[in-house]
């Protein structure tokens, strides 16, 4: 009878392809355990290698996660107002959105920027814009994440130069720049230069910050966007680790020790999807990354082995249909982030399927996180799901799958080669296509989309307006800067940027000089592009 009942139970697999049993026991945990010397149970304690249960011994009991909303629109002045609103509402960090021209290295007066200036983020042309954007904000205590990649070295230089002008000690300054160009080739497309020089520019920022801004994180490896482009949760983690390793390898060629810079590597991962799968991917990922940095790279400092992580977003999990349901989705995403041990949560807003989030929608997201802290007891104890037969087994199985994926990457010549040839992009795109087919067929259920649907009138979502006058004002300010700056200083600095690219030396000192002279994003991009050329995307079928 029992055998017949088991036979009748349909198989369930999570998105990573791992079969989910209806019941788990201690035997499942033991059978799936991955042995690690010095860690008898394979899990360990919080704050201790391999950090399965968190990178800090007291985790949120000592300090809750940083709440960092993603925002930026129009010009620096308008964005500065929103930054201050978010801080007043309870944000403890800022996550900056830049418009597409800035991301791709084009000035606001460039014909290629027409119609896009300030549309999906803040326009930044010169150091002056950076100064306006953070005017009146204590960037020593409100940490800032710059979500930019193709132009990341210029944005980091502008941010550090702005901090210096305001009297902050950059050797103590904390903050983050996404600066993960390899995932841009896979996930978003705001690349500029070919793969190899792009990786070189990332390494330039890591080397420069190790000496001049040792507490600043110049790279946040972003599996987030690869996940939203079609990767499974285990692929999201494994691809992120392979990309981080590629950056490490490039910096190590320059003679630095792994412990000189590894501790400032950070990661940005997604949270949408099946609840326990998301929690276990982070527990497994923390453990695997610690092993990679310790065993492969020989790190001695435990901080070098930390998976310092911002988790959240989840925009790909939101729906246009029944947008109020996204409020509940966001709450579950935040809960999953908290239970998985993220250091920072950047929670999506319910209206992000439509528009740049409104102040009201951002307040709801912030309040959602505050509820978990103030009312739900999520900061009372460390890793409350530890010891669950299901959680520990799934954690082990997901780590094993991540290792398998990384081994496959190495067999194919490494992550840089796969991206340069378009193989990884093709794989992820095929999976995205299949997922969309599964949504349309109803095989993957989505509330409001293919099940529990209702006839709706126009949803009550406040659309963010695009104002062409903002573009005109941005261009006017840019022209003012060009007219008032020392052109000879700009020309001299830009010449040094090009020469550094030609010589293959670190470009950051020259870029720092250029931005301090108020050279523009587009001018710096032009000099680098004249040496490196532009990336031509390989198309595979």
List the structure tokens of 414: 């490494």
pLDDT in tens, 221-249: 999 999 999 999 999 999 999 999 999 99
Rounded average pLDDT over 196-206: 98
pLDDT attached to residue 541: 59
Compute the Cα dihedral for 202, 203, 208, 210 and give only its sign: positive
- The C-alpha atoms of residue 219 and residue 203 are separated, in whole angstroms, by 9
- The C-alpha atoms of residue 498 and residue 374 are separated, in whole angstroms, by 53
- The C-alpha atoms of residue 482 and residue 520 are separated, in whole angstroms, by 9
Q: Which of 157-166, 188-197, 310-319 has the lowest mean pLDDT?
A: 310-319
pLDDT attached to residue 331: 96
pLDDT attached to residue 413: 97
Of 510, 522, 385, 433, whose CA–CA distance to 101 is shortest? 522
- The C-alpha atoms of residue 102 and residue 152 are separated, in whole angstroms, by 10
- The C-alpha atoms of residue 167 and residue 155 are separated, in whole angstroms, by 18
- The C-alpha atoms of residue 128 and residue 315 are separated, in whole angstroms, by 32
pLDDT attached to residue 4: 45
Secondary-structure breakdown of the chain: helix, strand, coil percentages, each rounded to the nearest 5: 50, 10, 40
Q: Give, for 67, the enclosing helix (H) or strand (E).
A: strand 66-71
pLDDT attached to residue 455: 83
Distances in Å between the Cα of 489 and the Cα atoms of 481, 514, 515, 516 are 13, 8, 10, 9
Residue 30: partners with Cβ closer than 8 Å, 6 or more residues away: none
N residues, the chain: 541
19 - beta bridge partners?
13
Token pair 């597409």 in the structure block, residue: 100
pLDDT in tens, 462-508: 888 888 898 999 999 999 999 999 999 999 999 999 999 999 999 99
pLDDT attached to residue 1: 39
pLDDT in tens, 88-100: 999 999 999 999 9
Model confidence at 6, pLDDT cuts 50, 70, 90, reads: low
Rounded average pLDDT over 505-532: 98
pLDDT attached to residue 467: 85
Contact of 281 with 311, CB cutoff 8 Å: no
pLDDT attached to residue 313: 75
- The C-alpha atoms of residue 426 and residue 440 are separated, in whole angstroms, by 21
Q: Give, for 408, the enclosing helix (H) or strand (E).
A: helix 389-411
Contact of 319 with 446, CB cutoff 8 Å: yes
Rounded average pLDDT over 357-368: 95
Which DSSP letter does residue 171 get? T
Q: Which of 285-294, 351-360, 452-461 has the lowest mean pLDDT?
A: 452-461
Q: Give, for 266, the enclosing helix (H) or strand (E).
A: strand 266-270
pLDDT in tens, 111-137: 999 999 999 999 999 999 999 999 999
What are the counts of helices (DSSP H) followed by strands (DSSP E) for the chain? 21, 9
Within 10 angstroms of residue 129's Cβ, the number of other Cβ atoms is 26
Pairing mode, strands 220-222 and 266-270: parallel
pLDDT in tens, 297-340: 999 999 999 999 999 877 889 999 999 999 999 999 999 999 99
- The C-alpha atoms of residue 315 and residue 4 are separated, in whole angstroms, by 42
List the structure tokens of 229: 């482009």
Contact of 216 with 174, CB cutoff 8 Å: yes
Of 118, 68, 117, whose CA–CA distance to 93 is shortest? 68
Which CATH number describes the domain made up of 45-441? 3.20.20.240
Which DSSP letter does residue 13 get? B
pLDDT of 283 > 90? The answer is: yes
Token pair 């691809």 in the structure block, residue: 239
Query: Cα-flanking dihedrals φ and ψ of residue 39, to 5°?
Result: -130, 85
Is cis: bond before 428, omega within 30 of 0? no
Contact of 362 with 69, CB cutoff 8 Å: yes
Give the CA-trace dihedral at 247, 209, 142, 478, to 10 degrees: -100
Q: Which residues of 320-344 are buried (b: 16+ CB within 10 A; e: fewer)?
A: ebebebbeebbbbbbbbbbbbbbbb
Pairing mode, strands 66-71 and 344-347: parallel
Average pLDDT, the chain: 95
pLDDT of 7 > 60? The answer is: no
pLDDT attached to residue 179: 98
Rounded average pLDDT over 445-467: 85
Within 10 angstroms of residue 303's Cβ, the number of other Cβ atoms is 13
């Amino acid at each position: 009878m029992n055998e017949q009942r088991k036979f009748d139970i349909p198989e369930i697999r999570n998105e990573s392809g791992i079969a989910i049993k209806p019941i788990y026991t201690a035997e499942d945990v033991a059978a799936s355990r991955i042995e690690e010397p010095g860690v008898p149970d394979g899990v360990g304690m919080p704050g201790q290698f391999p950090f399965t249960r968190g990178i800090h011994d007291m985790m949120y009991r000592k300090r809750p996660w940083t709440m960092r909303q993603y925002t930026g629109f129009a010009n620096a002045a308008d964005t500065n107002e929103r930054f201050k609103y978010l801080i007043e509402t309870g944000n403890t960090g800022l996550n900056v959105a830049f418009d597409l021209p800035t991301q791709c290295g084009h000035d606001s007066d460039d014909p290629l920027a027409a119609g896009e200036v300030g549309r999906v983020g803040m326009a930044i042309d010169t150091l002056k814009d950076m100064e306006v954007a953070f005017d009146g904000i204590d960037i020593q205590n409100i940490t800032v994440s710059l979500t930019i990649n193709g132009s990341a070295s210029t944005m980091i230089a502008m941010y550090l130069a702005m901090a210096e002008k305001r009297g902050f000690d950059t050797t103590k300054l904390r903050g983050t720049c996404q600066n993960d160009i390899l995932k841009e080739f896979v996930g978003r497309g705001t690349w500029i230069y070919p793969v190899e020089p792009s990786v070189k520019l990332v390494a330039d920022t890591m080397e420069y910050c190790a000496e001049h801004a040792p507490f600043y994180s110049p790279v946040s490896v972003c599996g987030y966007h690869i996940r939203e482009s079609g990767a499974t949760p285990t692929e999201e983690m494994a691809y992120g680790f392979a990309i981080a390793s590629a950056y490490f390898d490039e910096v190590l060629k320059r003679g630095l020790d792994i412990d000189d810079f590894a501790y400032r590597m950070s990661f940005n991962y997604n949270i949408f999807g099946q609840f326990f799968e998301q929690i276990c991917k982070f527990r497994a990922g923390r453990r695997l990354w610690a092993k990679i940095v310790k065993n492969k790279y020989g790190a001695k400092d435990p901080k070098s082995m930390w998976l310092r992580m911002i988790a959240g977003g989840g925009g790909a999990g939101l729906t246009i249909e029944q947008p109020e349901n996204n409020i509940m989705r966001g709450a579950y995403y935040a809960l999953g982030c908290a239970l998985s041990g993220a250091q920072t949560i950047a929670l999506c807003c319910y209206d992000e399927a439509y528009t740049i989030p409104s102040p009201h929608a951002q307040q709801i997201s912030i309040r959602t996180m505050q509820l978990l802290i103030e009312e739900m007891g999520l900061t009372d104890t460390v890793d409350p799901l530890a010891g669950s037969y299901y959680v520990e087994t799934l954690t082990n199985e997901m780590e094993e799958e991540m290792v398998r994926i990384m081994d496959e990457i190495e067999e194919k010549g490494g992550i840089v080669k796969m991206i340069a040839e378009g193989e990884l992009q093709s794989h992820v795109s095929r999976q995205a296509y299949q997922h969309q087919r599964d949504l349309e067929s109803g095989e993957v259920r989505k509330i409001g989309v293919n099940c529990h649907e209702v006839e709706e009138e126009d949803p009550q979502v406040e659309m963010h307006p695009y104002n062409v006058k903002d573009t005109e004002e941005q261009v006017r300010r840019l022209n003012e800067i060009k007219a008032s700056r020392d052109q000879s200083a700009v020309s001299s600095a830009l010449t040094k940027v090009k020469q550094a690219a030609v010589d293959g030396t670190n470009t950051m000192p020259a870029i720092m000089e250029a931005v301090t002279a108020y050279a523009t994003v587009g001018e710096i991009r032009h000099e680098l592009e004249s040496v490196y050329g532009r990336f031509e995307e390989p198309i595979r079928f």
